Structure 1
């Protein structure tokens, strides 16, 4: 059985991709700033070009540049994962090889496709990527966004591949965490990818949490993860603290995490520019609501960021 690497545990931020010129240019200076903010807040790992990073909004050349800049700036301080999913298997393999060459710790592959994929096509896609990958490979199941649901039985089959190291399960069903753990014999790390069900996934035994909302709630998400994962775990405290954050996580579900993340960062004094068109930040009424929600959080903040997981 494969041993689960400690690199693939903990809270990993899904970074927004900072922009300038109304979203049309990647802002490398802001990217470095955002990386530093997350590391200083105690984040255990970082991901570029997850869904919150608008993976489908940027060209292959732009994505290569962001991965290179991020890898150099992170410089091994925390694990770095690069999203390398693409419309075709060939492009995904190119991006995966490039990311590996830049020194990322792993790649995360979501099946970006216009056509919902059959199970046999999903398996063939990941098998080809795994054969070509020199870094650990993560499977990203996000059926709401992609229209393709990678079921636990398929994940279990893919987990037999040597390079598959972890799964990001974003279906919104906590039972999927338990199913994947059971069917894989816990041979891969299982991450929750839905912020609004974090406590349920902690209880189900998730090894980690890929979060888009932690762009806005950096220290808060670090604190919540520590309450749910570090001994002595106290689920009463988890639920009590989660209740203070839930309205923002719920807004992500209703309005879109990428809109909330860009708008929330600006409201918290770290403007990272807007998402690329046609996506836009929150409309005025939703932005005002988010501002009210954020203003009520300061009393719940710890005096200093919690230390990263060992």
Structure 2
């Protein structure tokens, strides 16, 4: 259902006091146009990179609605609707469905460390409550809970669970998921640095941070890999590899928001406890943007 380079899009904000920086709604709509024009294959709105953790409930719903309206059917929109409360995740997913999202991205519940059975019941409840296509999101480095392949295999039997964004960090995990679940759901890389290897293992694309600033290159990388042209994909990936690493020189989305600001795509707003990129990392990110051909 979803393929290629899917940008985990930043949420532009107007710089105010770092606590209540308002969402730049006009800038948000312009970003959607930018991604449509530069070949991005789908937009994820209000994921981790979109500062879901710093937006309140009403803002969360409104950002998704604006992105859907701005996309106007030109590009699929996936709403980030996960939460560590099953009821809240259901409500956010219902809202995204009503707003016209093409899919929902549901992160493993964070902080409360559910069991594997708890994960099965959590995601099953959301899938049963809302008919929208749903992508699971495993990122144990942030959630403190690793959703194991056998758990994913059970959830893959639910008809509206259509994919998983796997950010456990190893290609071996992605390969195991493809082997276990590849005939039921699609596997997407959650890490730009191993996106190509994941697609070589049978994955269908990447939910990408780097695509915020090099959308055309990420689209071309994915298109080549999915067509089996690994020589071309590898050449593009080599050009982007320094950027993939530099954009995690501090916690995401700090570096990518700074990079997008340098390219004139967004303003400087970011909400505490996130801060602007430290000076000692700025030259590394700037050099990586140049090497990647960002403009």
Asked whether the two chains share a fold, i.e. TM above 0.5, the reply is yes
Matched, 1:268 2:280: no
- Cα deviation for residue 185 of structure 1 reads 4.7
- Conserved 8 A contact 2:108-2:147: no
Q: Deviations over 1:182-239 (max 9, x none)?
A: 2125211111110011221121111121101111211221222122123xx3323322
Corresponding position of 1:114: 111
Look up the match of 1:12.
Answer: 6
1:167 is aligned to 164
* 1:52 pairs with 2:46: no
The separation in 1 between residues aligned to 2:86 and 2:285, in whole angstroms, is 39
* Structure-2 residue corresponding to 1:279: 274
Q: Which residue of 2 aligns with 1:304?
A: none
1:235 pairs with 2:230: yes
Deviations 1:23-72 (A, max 9, x none): 52111111001111111000111010111111111111110111111111
Aligned counterparts of 1:297 and 1:189: Cα–Cα separation in 2: 28
Q: Distance in 2 between matches of 1:108 and 1:183?
A: 21
Matches within 5 A, 1:117-156: 117-156=114-153
Partner of 1:307: none
CA distance in 2 between counterparts of 1:67 and 1:89 reads 19
Count of residue correspondences: 292
Note the aligned Cα RMSD (angstroms).
Answer: 1.6
Give the Å deviation of 1:94. Answer: 0.6
Q: Distance in 1 between matches of 2:82 and 2:47?
A: 9
Contact 2:43 2:75 in 1 (8 A): yes
2:269 is paired with a residue whose SS is coil
Do the aligned residues in 2 keep the contact of 1:258 with 1:275 (CA within 8 Å)? no
Match of 2:220 in 1: 223
Deviation at 1:140, TM superposition (A): 0.5
TM-score normalised according to structure 1 size: 0.90
Could you list the runs of 4 or more consecutive aligned residues of structure 1 that deviate by over 6 angstroms after TM superposition? Answer: none
Question: What TM-score do the two structures reach when normalised by structure 2?
Answer: 0.94
Correspondence for 1:198: 195
8 A contact 1:15–1:212 mirrored in 2: yes
Aligned partners of 1:87 and 1:111 also within 8 Å: yes
Gaps of 5+ in 1: 302-310
Give the match's secondary structure for 2:66.
helix
- Contact 1:142–1:170 at 8 Å: present in 2 too? yes
Secondary structure class of the residue paired with 2:83: coil
Superposition deviation, residue 109 in structure 1: 0.5
Number of the residue aligned with 2:287: 292
Matched residues in 1 for 2:267 and 2:76: separation? 22
Q: Deviations over 1:135-160 (max 9, x none)?
A: 11111001111111111110000011
Q: Which runs of 5+ in 2 are unaligned?
A: none
Residue 248 (structure 1) aligns with: 243
Distance in 1 of aligned mates of 2:173 and 2:244: 20
Aligned to 2:255, the other structure's residue is in SS state helix
Match of 2:96 in 1: 99
